[in-house]
C-alpha cells in the first residue's frame, strides 16, 4: 500500500488513483472510548479496516491474581462501565460454584432484578447516543431522562451510580431498603410509558432510516466465525440468549422473550436493542412481584473473614447487556485466584469490523461503528 500525497499548484500533475491510509482515532468521539481504526481507502470507499486496540489496557486479569475475592469484584465491574452490576455477577457465580455455595432465594431474585435494571441503563445509553452520532441531538435528552429515573433506584440500593459493588460471594451486600420495591415499580412503569415516545422519534425518522437501512450488514457466518453475541448477533437471526438457553440466577422461572431480527444491518441492531429494553422492563416487573411474595429471610451467606476458594476450576458465563461474558476461574485453594480469564463481549463484537467495513463509504463508517454497541474498556480489559 502507498499513501497518497496530494499536491496542488501549477506544477501538479494528474494523479493516478492510489490507496490512502486514514486513521480514525484513537480519540474519535464516536468510538465509545479510546479505539483506533486504520482504514485503507480507494476514494471514498473503504478497502481494508484494522481495529487497533490496547490504548486503555489496565491489566485487569493480572490484577485479579493478587486480589482477594472481595477486591476482584471492584475490578471486574469497571471494564464495561455501563454494566457494572452485570460484570460482578460472573465473578461471584464462578466463586460460588467452586465453593459449592447456594445464595439465599431472596438474593437470587434481587440479583436478577438488579441485572435487568442495569441492562435497561446500558440499552438506554446506546439508544440515545447512537442517533447523536448520526447528527440527531434530541433523542439523547429523552434517553438520559429515563436513565436518571432507573439510576435513582440503583443508587438508592447500592450507593453507587456506575460502580455498584453490591454483589458479594454468597449474596448481596445488604437487604433491600424499606419501600424500595414500590419505587422500582413506579420507575419501571414510567419508563415503559415513555419508551414509545423515543421509539417514534428515532425509528420512523426518514434520515435515520436512510443512514441505517441496508448499511453494515453482518451475516450469520461472520457471527459464528468471530464469536459475536448479544443484540448484534440476534439482529442477524442468531436466536441465542443465555437467560433462556443456559439460565442462571432466577431466569429458569422467568418467561424470557428472545428478540431477533433478520436484516443484520444497523437498523435491525437498533430495533432489536429497543425491543430488548421492553423485555427487560417486563422481567424487572416479574422480579419485583416475586420479591414481594417471598417471606423475610437472609440476603447473603455468612463468610469467614478470609475467604479461600477450594482448589479446582470452573467456567461461568452471563448474558451481559452487550453480549456473552465468560469467566474461567482456576483456584489453588488460596484467598486469591491462580487465574481468572475474562471473555468480554465487546472484544469479539469489534473484531468483526475488519469483515464488515470494507466496501462501505467512509460516511457510513460512523453509522456502522455506533451500531456495534461496544465499550472500549470491555475490549482492552
> pLDDT tens string for the chain (381 positions)?
555 544 444 444 444 457 788 888 776 555 566 888 899 998 889 999 999 888 888 888 999 999 999 899 988 888 888 989 999 999 999 999 999 999 999 999 999 999 999 999 999 999 998 998 888 889 999 999 999 999 999 999 999 888 899 999 999 999 999 999 999 999 999 999 999 998 888 988 899 999 999 999 999 999 999 999 999 999 999 999 999 999 999 999 999 999 999 999 999 999 999 999 999 999 999 999 999 999 999 999 999 989 999 999 999 999 999 999 999 999 999 999 999 999 999 998 999 999 999 999 998 998 999 899 988 888 887
- pLDDT, position 7: 45
Model confidence over 217-227: pLDDT tens digits?
A: 999 999 999 99
Supply the angle between the helices 138-158 and 105-133 in degrees, to the nearest 10.
160
- pLDDT, position 8: 44
- pLDDT, position 1: 52
Q: Which one, of 20, 27, 18, 17, lies nearest residue 46 by Cα? A: 20
Model confidence over 33-69: pLDDT tens digits?
A: 688 889 999 888 999 999 988 888 888 899 999 999 9
- pLDDT, position 234: 95
**Cis, peptide link before residue 26, omega less than 30° from 0:** yes
Q: How far apart are CA 41 and CA 21, in angstroms?
A: 6
- pLDDT, position 260: 94
- Percentages helix, strand, coil for the chain (3-state, rounded to 5) are 50, 15, 40
- Inter-residue contact 117 to 284 (CB < 8 Å): yes
CA atoms within 13 A on the CB side of 148: 6
- pLDDT, position 118: 95
Q: CA 18 → CA 42, 186, 188, distances in Å?
A: 7, 60, 55
CB atoms within 10 A of CB 262: 10
| Angle ∠(155,160,161) on CA atoms, nearest 5 | 75
Amino acid at each position: 500500500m502507498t499513501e497518497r500525497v496530494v499536491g496542488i499548484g501549477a506544477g501538479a500533475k494528474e494523479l493516478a488513483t492510489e490507496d490512502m491510509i486514514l486513521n480514525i482515532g484513537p480519540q474519535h468521539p464516536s468510538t465509545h472510548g479510546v479505539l483506533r481504526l486504520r482504514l485503507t481507502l480507494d476514494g471514498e470507499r473503504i478497502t481494508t479496516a484494522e481495529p487497533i486496540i490496547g490504548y486503555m489496557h489496565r491489566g485487569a486479569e493480572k490484577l485479579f491474581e493478587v486480589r482477594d475475592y472481595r477486591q476482584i469484584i471492584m475490578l471486574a465491574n469497571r471494564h464495561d462501565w455501563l454494566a457494572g452490576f452485570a460484570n460482578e455477577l460472573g465473578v461471584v457465580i464462578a466463586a460460588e460454584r467452586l465453593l459449592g455455595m447456594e445464595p439465599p432465594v431472596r438474593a437470587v431474585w434481587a440479583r436478577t432484578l438488579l441485572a435487568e435494571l442495569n441492562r435497561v441503563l446500558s440499552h438506554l445509553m446506546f439508544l440515545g447516543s447512537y442517533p447523536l452520532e448520526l447528527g440527531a441531538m434530541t433523542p439523547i435528552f429523552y434517553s438520559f431522562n429515563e436513565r436518571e429515573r432507573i439510576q435513582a433506584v440503583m443508587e438508592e440500593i447500592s450507593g453507587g451510580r456506575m460502580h455498584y459493588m453490591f454483589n458479594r460471594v454468597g449474596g448481596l451486600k445488604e437487604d433491600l431498603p424499606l419501600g424500595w420495591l414500590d419505587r422500582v415499580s413506579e420507575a419501571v412503569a414510567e419508563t415503559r410509558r415513555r419508551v414509545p415516545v423515543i421509539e417514534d422519534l428515532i425509528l420512523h425518522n426518514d434520515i435515520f432510516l436512510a443512514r441505517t437501512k441496508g448499511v453494515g450488514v453482518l451475516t450469520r457466518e461472520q457471527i459464528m466465525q468471530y464469536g459475536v453475541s448479544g443484540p448484534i448477533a440476534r439482529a442477524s437471526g442468531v436466536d441465542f440468549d443465555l437467560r433462556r438457553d443456559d439460565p442462571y440466577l432466577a431466569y429458569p422461572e422467568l418467561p424470557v422473550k428472545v428478540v431477533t431480527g433478520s436484516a443484520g444491518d444497523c437498523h435491525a441492531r437498533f430495533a432489536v436493542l429497543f425491543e430488548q429494553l421492553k423485555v427487560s422492563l417486563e422481567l424487572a416487573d416479574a422480579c419485583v412481584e416475586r420479591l414481594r411474595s417471598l417471606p423475610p429471610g437472609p440476603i447473603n451467606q455468612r463468610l469467614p473473614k478470609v475467604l479461600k476458594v477450594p482448589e479446582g476450576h470452573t467456567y461461568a458465563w452471563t448474558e451481559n447487556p452487550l453480549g456473552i461474558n465468560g469467566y474461567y476461574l482456576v483456584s489453588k485453594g488460596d484467598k486469591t485466584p491462580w487465574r481468572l480469564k475474562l471473555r468480554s463481549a465487546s472484544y469479539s463484537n469489534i473484531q468483526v469490523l475488519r469483515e464488515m467495513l470494507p466496501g462501505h463509504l467512509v460516511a457510513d463508517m460512523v453509522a456502522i461503528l455506533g451500531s456495534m454497541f461496544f465499550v472500549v474498556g470491555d475490549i482492552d480489559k
